[in-house]
Structure 1
Amino acid sequence: MARQLPYHTIREIFARFHAAEPEPKGELEHLNAYTLLVAVALSAQATDAGVNKATRALFKVADTPQKMLDLGEEALTQHIKTIGLYRNKAKNVMKMARILVDDYGGEVPSSRAALQALPGVGRKTANVVLNMWWSHPAQAVDTHIFRVGNRTGIAPGKDVDAVERAIEDNVPAEYQRHAHHWLILHGRYICLARKPRCPDCLIRDLCAYEDKTP
């Protein structure tokens, strides 16, 4: 775990991220709040690309909770069988659809507590939906953000909750909304797990990582 970078350094890091990509976007394909929620729930222990491949056809026939219920669990399973843990995920998606129809009139709630109460939805999934759909400054810490936060010194922490708090505490307010997307994309394409692409990194001179690749 790297040392915590000072505030002025973190501000400069996010100023550079913003200059390079002012409006970073998540890579999960979706049509509305419901399809976003389903896509994020399906993405646990799976790649965004793999989820997108499975959901393109699915969302053409089931883009609301009621349509998902009408589709049925067996048909849903066939759509998502290329995704890891697909049987359990299919059960959760169907249970989620039933709750959304019965308790929320088919709408996706905009409260973290309500989202986390849904089957198959944890804090990370709830934060992604809050951030991407409602533009809340919620920080969804995945493996990429955990690695980048600790390696760079932007948001060091022993677990995902600590890293989430560190982002909230140390990233300037004007960069909070897009912080998790900048960090995810940086981890996915530059600050790789096994061999980070330090020569291509736009924050190389600011990063606290001591074992930079030449």
Structure 2
Amino acid sequence: MNQKKRIEILTRLRDNNPNPTTELNFSNPFELLIAVLLSAQATDVGVNKATGPLFKVANNPADMLALGVEGVKDYIKTIGLFNTKAENVIKTCRMLLELHGGEVPEDRAALEALPGVGRKTANVVLNTAFGWPTIAVDTHIFRVSNRTKFAPGKTVDQVEQRLLKVVPAEFKLDVHHWFILHGRYTCIARKPRCGSCIIEDLCEYKDKIEIE
């Protein structure tokens, strides 16, 4: 795919959704960190149902730590891998209090050192909470980047590096959210809704499906 086409794709996505954001509910960087940590192999809708009640009683590391592992489990037991995630939440809260004064660090290495937090989660927090032009590659972004030929790669790291290279600076802050939403609602895994896609004429996917 040539750069002119990429810019047109990004321009259309921006015109359609000028101020995109995550569909996870949060009111501060700590809530976002916990929500993203819980979202692995889970839907945003499912995470929001669990974190709504949870954040009402614990929306900072100290209050969350006070709940303990079993207390956190009570709130997140509807989410996949909740046992491991509850343990990681408590360990993360302890580290935030001991090493970062109870604040979520605006630092990639510090974020990735937290239990259950990998590069993707760190990218989301840096982008959405702190406004960094990072691009977190999840299953939706990986699929959209490869299917459209916008930024093909065999691994999520390859796709991320390709996106960082080809996405112009003016689009970098929001491309993460545009591609996630496009992959979640239009360029879906099994039967992409090509007939209702605003970038269909620019997409280089060979097996387009004409479904409204």
Relative to the length of structure 2, the TM-score reads 0.98
What's the secondary structure of 2:195's corresponding residue?
helix
Question: Which of 5, 8, 16 is equivalent to 2:4?
Answer: 8
Corresponding residue to 2:140 among 141, 144, 158: 144
CA distance in 2, matches of 1:150, 1:114: 31
Q: Which runs of 5+ in 1 are unaligned?
A: none
Shift of 1:175: 0.3
Alignment of 1:42-191 (within 5 A): 42-191=38-187
Deviations 1:68-107 (A, max 9, x none): 1111111110000000000000000000000000111100
Distance 1:164 1:81 in 2: 32
**Cα distance, 1:171 vs. partner?**
1.1
Instruction: Give the match for residue 193 of structure 1.
Output: 189
Distance in 2, Cα, partners of 1:105 & 1:172: 36
3-state SS, counterpart of residue 129 of structure 2:
helix
CA-atom RMSD in angstroms: 0.5
May I ask how many residue pairs the two structures share in their alignment? 210
Q: Map Cα deviations across residues 28-50 of structure 1 (whole Å, 9 max, x no partner).
A: 00120001000000000000000
- Equivalent position SS for 1:53: helix
Q: Structure 1, residues 142-190: CA drift from partner, whole Å, max 9, x if none?
A: 0000000000011100000000011101111100000010000000000
* TM-score, scaled to structure 1: 0.97
Deviation at 1:20, TM superposition (A): 0.5
Any gaps of 5 or more consecutive residues in structure 2?
none
Letter in 2 for 1:16: R
Residues 95-152 of structure 1 show CA distances to partners (whole Å, capped at 9, x for unaligned) of 0000000111100000111100000000000000000001101111000000000000
**4+ runs deviating over 4 angstroms:** none
